Structure 1
Amino acid sequence: MTGNKTQATAAAARGEPVRQRVLDAAERLLRRGKADFSMRDLASEAGVSFATPFNQFGSKAAIMHALSGRRIDTMAKRFAAMSPPPDATGRVLLAIDTAVQVMLEEPEINRAVMGWIGTAGPSPGKVLAHSTSLWSLALGAGEGLTGAGREKALRCLPEQLAFAFRGVLSFWTASELRDDELASRAREMAKTLLLGFAERPLFCDSAP
Protein backbone atom coordinates (compact mmCIF):
# COMPACT_ATOMS: atom_id res chain seq x y z
CA MET A 1 0.00 0.00 0.00
CA THR A 2 2.80 2.41 0.91
CA GLY A 3 4.58 1.59 -2.35
CA ASN A 4 1.48 2.38 -4.39
CA LYS A 5 1.05 5.70 -2.58
CA THR A 6 4.68 6.60 -3.21
CA GLN A 7 4.33 5.76 -6.90
CA ALA A 8 1.17 7.87 -7.16
CA THR A 9 2.92 10.82 -5.49
CA ALA A 10 5.88 10.50 -7.85
CA ALA A 11 3.57 10.33 -10.87
CA ALA A 12 1.75 13.46 -9.71
CA ALA A 13 5.07 15.28 -9.32
CA ARG A 14 6.11 14.30 -12.84
CA GLY A 15 2.79 15.51 -14.20
CA GLU A 16 2.91 18.89 -12.43
CA PRO A 17 4.88 20.72 -15.17
CA VAL A 18 2.29 19.54 -17.71
CA ARG A 19 -0.56 20.69 -15.45
CA GLN A 20 1.02 24.13 -15.11
CA ARG A 21 1.54 24.28 -18.89
CA VAL A 22 -2.17 23.61 -19.44
CA LEU A 23 -3.15 26.21 -16.83
CA ASP A 24 -0.82 28.78 -18.40
CA ALA A 25 -2.48 28.13 -21.75
CA ALA A 26 -5.94 28.58 -20.20
CA GLU A 27 -4.82 31.92 -18.75
CA ARG A 28 -3.62 33.07 -22.18
CA LEU A 29 -6.92 32.14 -23.81
CA LEU A 30 -8.86 34.01 -21.12
CA ARG A 31 -6.67 37.08 -21.60
CA ARG A 32 -7.55 37.03 -25.28
CA GLY A 33 -11.24 37.09 -24.41
CA LYS A 34 -11.85 33.42 -25.18
CA ALA A 35 -13.68 32.37 -22.02
CA ASP A 36 -15.69 29.89 -24.07
CA PHE A 37 -12.58 28.02 -25.21
CA SER A 38 -12.96 24.31 -25.91
CA MET A 39 -10.68 21.59 -24.58
CA ARG A 40 -9.40 21.20 -28.14
CA ASP A 41 -8.54 24.92 -28.21
CA LEU A 42 -6.78 24.52 -24.89
CA ALA A 43 -4.74 21.52 -26.01
CA SER A 44 -3.66 23.38 -29.13
CA GLU A 45 -2.68 26.48 -27.13
CA ALA A 46 -0.71 24.37 -24.66
CA GLY A 47 0.98 22.34 -27.40
CA VAL A 48 -0.19 19.03 -25.97
CA SER A 49 -2.37 16.20 -27.21
CA PHE A 50 -6.15 16.58 -27.11
CA ALA A 51 -6.34 13.99 -24.32
CA THR A 52 -3.81 15.69 -22.04
CA PRO A 53 -6.12 18.33 -20.43
CA PHE A 54 -8.66 15.58 -19.75
CA ASN A 55 -6.01 13.26 -18.34
CA GLN A 56 -4.60 15.97 -16.07
CA PHE A 57 -7.84 17.62 -14.91
CA GLY A 58 -10.87 15.69 -16.16
CA SER A 59 -12.95 18.67 -17.29
CA LYS A 60 -12.94 22.37 -18.09
CA ALA A 61 -14.66 23.02 -14.74
CA ALA A 62 -11.74 21.41 -12.91
CA ILE A 63 -9.31 23.57 -14.88
CA MET A 64 -11.16 26.71 -13.85
CA HIS A 65 -11.20 25.51 -10.25
CA ALA A 66 -7.42 25.14 -10.48
CA LEU A 67 -7.14 28.68 -11.85
CA SER A 68 -9.13 29.86 -8.83
CA GLY A 69 -6.62 28.03 -6.65
CA ARG A 70 -3.82 29.96 -8.36
CA ARG A 71 -5.47 33.20 -7.39
CA ILE A 72 -5.86 32.14 -3.77
CA ASP A 73 -2.19 31.13 -3.74
CA THR A 74 -1.29 34.59 -5.01
CA MET A 75 -3.41 36.20 -2.29
CA ALA A 76 -1.75 34.09 0.42
CA LYS A 77 1.78 34.76 -0.87
CA ARG A 78 1.24 38.52 -1.02
CA PHE A 79 -0.32 38.54 2.44
CA ALA A 80 2.54 36.47 3.89
CA ALA A 81 5.08 38.91 2.40
CA MET A 82 3.51 41.89 4.19
CA SER A 83 4.02 43.16 7.71
CA PRO A 84 0.55 42.36 9.05
CA PRO A 85 -1.14 44.10 11.99
CA PRO A 86 -0.70 42.42 15.39
CA ASP A 87 -4.42 41.75 15.84
CA ALA A 88 -6.54 39.17 14.03
CA THR A 89 -9.17 41.70 12.93
CA GLY A 90 -6.57 43.92 11.29
CA ARG A 91 -5.02 40.92 9.56
CA VAL A 92 -8.38 39.71 8.20
CA LEU A 93 -9.12 43.17 6.79
CA LEU A 94 -5.64 43.28 5.25
CA ALA A 95 -6.27 39.85 3.71
CA ILE A 96 -9.58 41.16 2.33
CA ASP A 97 -7.84 44.14 0.74
CA THR A 98 -5.12 41.86 -0.66
CA ALA A 99 -7.64 39.41 -2.10
CA VAL A 100 -9.67 42.20 -3.69
CA GLN A 101 -6.52 43.69 -5.21
CA VAL A 102 -5.71 40.34 -6.85
CA MET A 103 -9.23 40.00 -8.24
CA LEU A 104 -9.26 43.54 -9.65
CA GLU A 105 -5.93 43.23 -11.43
CA GLU A 106 -7.60 41.24 -14.20
CA PRO A 107 -11.31 41.64 -13.51
CA GLU A 108 -12.72 40.18 -16.71
CA ILE A 109 -10.54 37.08 -16.47
CA ASN A 110 -11.36 36.63 -12.82
CA ARG A 111 -15.08 37.04 -13.45
CA ALA A 112 -14.80 34.28 -16.05
CA VAL A 113 -13.01 32.03 -13.56
CA MET A 114 -15.51 32.79 -10.79
CA GLY A 115 -18.37 32.00 -13.15
CA TRP A 116 -17.15 28.41 -13.29
CA ILE A 117 -16.67 27.89 -9.54
CA GLY A 118 -20.24 26.73 -9.04
CA THR A 119 -19.95 24.19 -11.88
CA ALA A 120 -19.40 20.61 -10.79
CA GLY A 121 -16.43 18.72 -12.15
CA PRO A 122 -15.82 14.97 -12.33
CA SER A 123 -14.73 15.03 -8.69
CA PRO A 124 -15.41 17.46 -5.81
CA GLY A 125 -13.42 20.68 -6.03
CA LYS A 126 -11.05 22.00 -3.39
CA VAL A 127 -11.77 25.72 -3.64
CA LEU A 128 -13.46 25.87 -0.22
CA ALA A 129 -10.55 24.19 1.55
CA HIS A 130 -8.09 26.38 -0.35
CA SER A 131 -9.92 29.58 0.56
CA THR A 132 -10.37 28.49 4.19
CA SER A 133 -6.60 28.15 4.52
CA LEU A 134 -6.16 31.80 3.48
CA TRP A 135 -8.47 33.02 6.24
CA SER A 136 -6.81 30.72 8.77
CA LEU A 137 -3.51 32.36 7.86
CA ALA A 138 -5.04 35.81 8.40
CA LEU A 139 -6.60 34.92 11.77
CA GLY A 140 -3.34 33.46 13.06
CA ALA A 141 -3.57 32.77 16.79
CA GLY A 142 -6.59 35.06 17.16
CA GLU A 143 -4.86 37.96 18.87
CA GLY A 144 -7.40 40.62 19.81
CA LEU A 145 -10.36 38.24 19.82
CA THR A 146 -12.23 37.71 23.07
CA GLY A 147 -10.61 35.07 25.24
CA ALA A 148 -13.82 33.13 25.84
CA GLY A 149 -14.70 32.98 22.16
CA ARG A 150 -11.25 32.75 20.63
CA GLU A 151 -11.16 28.97 20.32
CA LYS A 152 -14.57 28.90 18.64
CA ALA A 153 -13.58 31.77 16.36
CA LEU A 154 -10.44 30.00 15.19
CA ARG A 155 -12.44 26.85 14.59
CA CYS A 156 -15.39 28.41 12.76
CA LEU A 157 -14.40 31.76 11.25
CA PRO A 158 -11.97 30.61 8.52
CA GLU A 159 -14.63 28.57 6.74
CA GLN A 160 -17.33 31.19 7.38
CA LEU A 161 -15.08 33.87 5.89
CA ALA A 162 -14.49 31.62 2.88
CA PHE A 163 -18.26 31.19 2.41
CA ALA A 164 -18.95 34.88 2.85
CA PHE A 165 -16.14 36.21 0.64
CA ARG A 166 -17.24 33.82 -2.08
CA GLY A 167 -20.74 35.26 -1.74
CA VAL A 168 -19.53 38.83 -2.18
CA LEU A 169 -17.47 37.78 -5.19
CA SER A 170 -20.50 36.09 -6.75
CA PHE A 171 -22.41 39.40 -6.80
CA TRP A 172 -19.34 41.13 -8.26
CA THR A 173 -19.05 38.39 -10.89
CA ALA A 174 -22.67 39.01 -11.85
CA SER A 175 -21.88 42.77 -12.15
CA GLU A 176 -24.24 43.59 -9.27
CA LEU A 177 -21.27 45.15 -7.49
CA ARG A 178 -18.96 47.59 -9.24
CA ASP A 179 -15.22 47.16 -9.03
CA ASP A 180 -14.97 50.17 -6.74
CA GLU A 181 -17.54 48.65 -4.37
CA LEU A 182 -15.92 45.26 -3.95
CA ALA A 183 -13.43 46.11 -1.20
CA SER A 184 -15.87 48.03 1.01
CA ARG A 185 -18.58 45.38 0.76
CA ALA A 186 -16.10 42.61 1.49
CA ARG A 187 -14.72 44.51 4.50
CA GLU A 188 -18.25 45.02 5.84
CA MET A 189 -18.90 41.29 5.50
CA ALA A 190 -15.74 40.45 7.43
CA LYS A 191 -16.48 42.97 10.18
CA THR A 192 -19.97 41.55 10.59
CA LEU A 193 -18.59 38.04 11.07
CA LEU A 194 -16.01 39.32 13.55
CA LEU A 195 -18.46 41.41 15.61
CA GLY A 196 -19.12 38.74 18.18
CA PHE A 197 -15.46 37.92 18.71
CA ALA A 198 -13.49 41.18 18.52
CA GLU A 199 -12.44 42.86 21.76
CA ARG A 200 -12.65 46.35 20.23
CA PRO A 201 -15.80 47.77 18.57
CA LEU A 202 -16.14 47.32 14.83
CA PHE A 203 -18.09 49.57 12.49
CA CYS A 204 -19.08 49.17 8.87
CA ASP A 205 -17.08 51.27 6.40
CA SER A 206 -20.28 53.12 5.51
CA ALA A 207 -20.91 54.14 9.13
CA PRO A 208 -20.09 57.75 10.14
Structure 2
Amino acid sequence: MIDAAERLLRKGKADFSMRDLAAEASVSFATPFNQFGSKTAIMHALSRRRIDKMTKHFTEAPPLPHAADRVLFAIGVATAVMLEEPEVNRAVMGWIGSAGPSPGDVLTHSTALWSLAVGAGEGLALTEPEQALRCLPRQLAFAFRGVLSFWTAGELPDAELTPNAREIAKALLRGYSERS
Protein backbone atom coordinates (compact mmCIF):
# COMPACT_ATOMS: atom_id res chain seq x y z
CA MET A 1 0.00 0.00 0.00
CA ILE A 2 2.81 2.39 0.94
CA ASP A 3 4.71 1.50 -2.23
CA ALA A 4 1.58 2.21 -4.28
CA ALA A 5 1.21 5.61 -2.59
CA GLU A 6 4.83 6.43 -3.45
CA ARG A 7 4.27 5.41 -7.07
CA LEU A 8 1.29 7.76 -7.29
CA LEU A 9 3.33 10.60 -5.79
CA ARG A 10 6.15 9.92 -8.27
CA LYS A 11 3.58 10.25 -11.07
CA GLY A 12 2.71 13.71 -9.75
CA LYS A 13 -0.59 12.63 -8.24
CA ALA A 14 -0.33 14.14 -4.75
CA ASP A 15 -4.09 14.56 -4.71
CA PHE A 16 -4.72 10.84 -5.21
CA SER A 17 -7.88 9.39 -3.69
CA MET A 18 -8.17 6.21 -1.67
CA ARG A 19 -9.87 4.72 -4.75
CA ASP A 20 -6.80 5.68 -6.84
CA LEU A 21 -4.56 4.10 -4.20
CA ALA A 22 -6.57 0.88 -4.16
CA ALA A 23 -6.38 0.68 -7.95
CA GLU A 24 -2.62 1.36 -7.96
CA ALA A 25 -2.09 -1.34 -5.32
CA SER A 26 -4.48 -3.78 -7.07
CA VAL A 27 -6.56 -4.23 -3.92
CA SER A 28 -10.19 -3.67 -3.04
CA PHE A 29 -11.45 -0.15 -2.41
CA ALA A 30 -11.81 -0.93 1.32
CA THR A 31 -8.23 -2.15 1.85
CA PRO A 32 -6.54 1.28 2.23
CA PHE A 33 -9.23 2.28 4.73
CA ASN A 34 -8.89 -1.00 6.61
CA GLN A 35 -5.11 -0.79 6.79
CA PHE A 36 -4.70 2.95 7.44
CA GLY A 37 -8.04 4.60 7.99
CA SER A 38 -7.16 7.81 6.14
CA LYS A 39 -4.88 9.35 3.56
CA THR A 40 -3.26 11.36 6.34
CA ALA A 41 -2.28 8.13 8.08
CA ILE A 42 -0.76 6.87 4.83
CA MET A 43 1.30 10.05 4.53
CA HIS A 44 2.43 9.66 8.14
CA ALA A 45 3.59 6.15 7.26
CA LEU A 46 5.47 7.56 4.26
CA SER A 47 7.12 10.11 6.55
CA ARG A 48 8.14 7.36 8.97
CA ARG A 49 9.64 5.49 6.01
CA ARG A 50 11.79 8.52 5.23
CA ILE A 51 12.89 8.93 8.83
CA ASP A 52 13.72 5.21 8.94
CA LYS A 53 15.88 5.69 5.84
CA MET A 54 17.62 8.66 7.48
CA THR A 55 18.22 6.61 10.62
CA LYS A 56 19.57 3.68 8.60
CA HIS A 57 22.04 5.89 6.70
CA PHE A 58 23.07 7.60 9.93
CA THR A 59 23.67 4.35 11.86
CA GLU A 60 25.52 2.69 8.97
CA ALA A 61 28.11 5.48 8.82
CA PRO A 62 31.27 5.31 10.94
CA PRO A 63 30.49 6.83 14.35
CA LEU A 64 31.67 10.34 15.03
CA PRO A 65 33.06 11.05 18.53
CA HIS A 66 31.46 14.46 19.11
CA ALA A 67 27.74 15.15 19.41
CA ALA A 68 27.86 18.37 17.38
CA ASP A 69 29.55 16.57 14.50
CA ARG A 70 26.95 13.78 14.69
CA VAL A 71 24.07 16.29 14.66
CA LEU A 72 25.49 18.09 11.63
CA PHE A 73 26.13 14.77 9.91
CA ALA A 74 22.52 13.74 10.65
CA ILE A 75 21.36 17.03 9.09
CA GLY A 76 23.31 16.17 5.95
CA VAL A 77 21.85 12.67 5.86
CA ALA A 78 18.30 13.90 6.48
CA THR A 79 18.41 16.62 3.85
CA ALA A 80 20.00 14.24 1.33
CA VAL A 81 17.08 11.84 1.81
CA MET A 82 14.59 14.67 1.32
CA LEU A 83 16.38 15.91 -1.79
CA GLU A 84 16.48 12.45 -3.42
CA GLU A 85 12.85 12.91 -4.49
CA PRO A 86 11.95 16.51 -3.73
CA GLU A 87 8.48 16.52 -5.29
CA VAL A 88 7.44 13.30 -3.55
CA ASN A 89 8.85 14.47 -0.24
CA ARG A 90 7.22 17.90 -0.52
CA ALA A 91 3.88 16.15 -1.03
CA VAL A 92 4.45 13.95 2.03
CA MET A 93 5.51 16.95 4.14
CA GLY A 94 2.47 18.90 3.02
CA TRP A 95 0.17 16.13 4.18
CA ILE A 96 1.75 15.42 7.55
CA GLY A 97 0.92 18.97 8.54
CA SER A 98 -2.76 18.09 8.13
CA ALA A 99 -4.90 16.94 11.00
CA GLY A 100 -6.13 13.40 10.70
CA PRO A 101 -8.64 11.33 12.60
CA SER A 102 -5.90 10.35 15.03
CA PRO A 103 -2.53 11.94 15.85
CA GLY A 104 0.51 10.63 14.05
CA ASP A 105 3.83 9.64 15.56
CA VAL A 106 6.16 11.56 13.26
CA LEU A 107 7.45 13.77 16.10
CA THR A 108 8.33 10.74 18.20
CA HIS A 109 10.00 9.05 15.26
CA SER A 110 11.95 12.17 14.31
CA THR A 111 13.01 12.80 17.92
CA ALA A 112 14.45 9.28 18.02
CA LEU A 113 16.72 10.10 15.06
CA TRP A 114 17.97 13.28 16.75
CA SER A 115 18.47 11.39 20.03
CA LEU A 116 20.85 9.07 18.20
CA ALA A 117 22.73 12.07 16.87
CA VAL A 118 22.96 13.86 20.22
CA GLY A 119 23.88 10.66 22.08
CA ALA A 120 25.35 11.43 25.50
CA GLY A 121 26.37 14.92 24.39
CA GLU A 122 30.05 14.11 23.99
CA GLY A 123 32.10 17.20 23.26
CA LEU A 124 29.33 19.65 24.14
CA ALA A 125 29.97 22.06 27.02
CA LEU A 126 26.42 21.86 28.32
CA THR A 127 25.24 24.22 31.05
CA GLU A 128 22.57 21.77 32.21
CA PRO A 129 23.49 18.40 30.69
CA GLU A 130 20.48 16.44 31.94
CA GLN A 131 17.99 19.00 30.66
CA ALA A 132 19.87 19.46 27.39
CA LEU A 133 20.00 15.75 26.65
CA ARG A 134 16.30 15.45 27.45
CA CYS A 135 15.18 18.50 25.40
CA LEU A 136 17.68 18.92 22.58
CA PRO A 137 16.57 15.97 20.38
CA ARG A 138 12.95 17.13 20.40
CA GLN A 139 13.99 20.73 19.69
CA LEU A 140 16.10 19.50 16.77
CA ALA A 141 13.05 17.62 15.47
CA PHE A 142 10.96 20.81 15.71
CA ALA A 143 13.67 22.89 14.05
CA PHE A 144 14.25 20.46 11.20
CA ARG A 145 10.52 20.21 10.57
CA GLY A 146 10.34 24.00 10.52
CA VAL A 147 13.02 24.28 7.86
CA LEU A 148 11.29 21.53 5.89
CA SER A 149 7.99 23.41 6.05
CA PHE A 150 9.52 26.44 4.30
CA TRP A 151 11.17 24.12 1.76
CA THR A 152 7.86 22.32 1.21
CA ALA A 153 6.09 25.64 0.61
CA GLY A 154 8.67 26.57 -2.03
CA GLU A 155 10.06 29.45 0.01
CA LEU A 156 13.41 27.72 0.43
CA PRO A 157 15.14 26.40 -2.73
CA ASP A 158 16.63 22.91 -2.72
CA ALA A 159 20.16 24.33 -2.61
CA GLU A 160 19.36 26.20 0.62
CA LEU A 161 17.77 23.30 2.52
CA THR A 162 20.97 21.82 3.96
CA PRO A 163 22.71 25.10 4.88
CA ASN A 164 19.59 26.44 6.62
CA ALA A 165 19.01 23.17 8.49
CA ARG A 166 22.66 23.20 9.60
CA GLU A 167 22.41 26.79 10.86
CA ILE A 168 19.34 26.11 12.99
CA ALA A 169 21.00 23.00 14.43
CA LYS A 170 24.12 25.01 15.28
CA ALA A 171 21.98 27.66 16.97
CA LEU A 172 20.25 25.04 19.09
CA LEU A 173 23.56 23.44 20.05
CA ARG A 174 24.93 26.84 21.09
CA GLY A 175 21.78 27.49 23.11
CA TYR A 176 22.57 24.59 25.40
CA SER A 177 26.29 25.30 25.66
CA GLU A 178 28.17 27.19 28.33
CA ARG A 179 28.53 30.86 27.63
CA SER A 180 32.05 32.23 27.51
Q: TM-score range by the shorter chain?
A: over 0.9
2:131 to 152, 158, 165: 152
Q: Which runs of 5+ in 2 are unaligned?
A: none
1:19-38 matches, within 5 Å, as 22-38=1-17
Look up the match of 1:136. Answer: 115
Which of 153, 163, 172 aligns to 1:193? It is 172
**The structure with more radius of gyration:** 1
Structure 2: distance between partners of 1:147 and 1:163: 20
CA-atom RMSD, angstroms? 1.4
TM-score by length of 2: 0.96
The count of residues paired between Structure 1 and Structure 2 equals: 180
Q: CA deviation at 1:197?
A: 3.0
Contact preservation (8 Å) 1:144, 1:198: no
| Residue pairs, 1:1-208, within 5 angstroms | 22-146=1-125, 148-198=127-177
**Paired amino acid for 1:75:** M
Give the Cα–Cα distance (whole angstroms) in 2 for the partners of residues 109 and 27 of structure 1.
7
- Whether contact under 8 Å (2:127, 2:178) holds in the other structure is no
Inter-partner Cα distance in structure 2 for 1:188 and 1:147: 19
Give, as a single letter, the amino acid of the residue that structure 1 aligns with 2:22. Answer: A
Matched letter for residue 174 of structure 1? A
TM-score, length-normalised on structure 1?
A: 0.83
The structure with higher relative contact order (CA 8 Å, sep 6+) is 2
How far the C-alpha of 1:149 sits from its partner, in A, is 2.0
Partners of 2:118 and 2:162 in 1: CA distance: 18
Identity %: 73
The 1:199/1:80 distance shift into structure 2, 3 A limit, reads farther
Distance in 2 between the 1:192 and 1:95 partners?
15
Task: Write the distance in 2 (CA, Å) between the matches of 1:37 and 1:129.
Answer: 27
* Corresponding letter in the other structure for 1:96: I
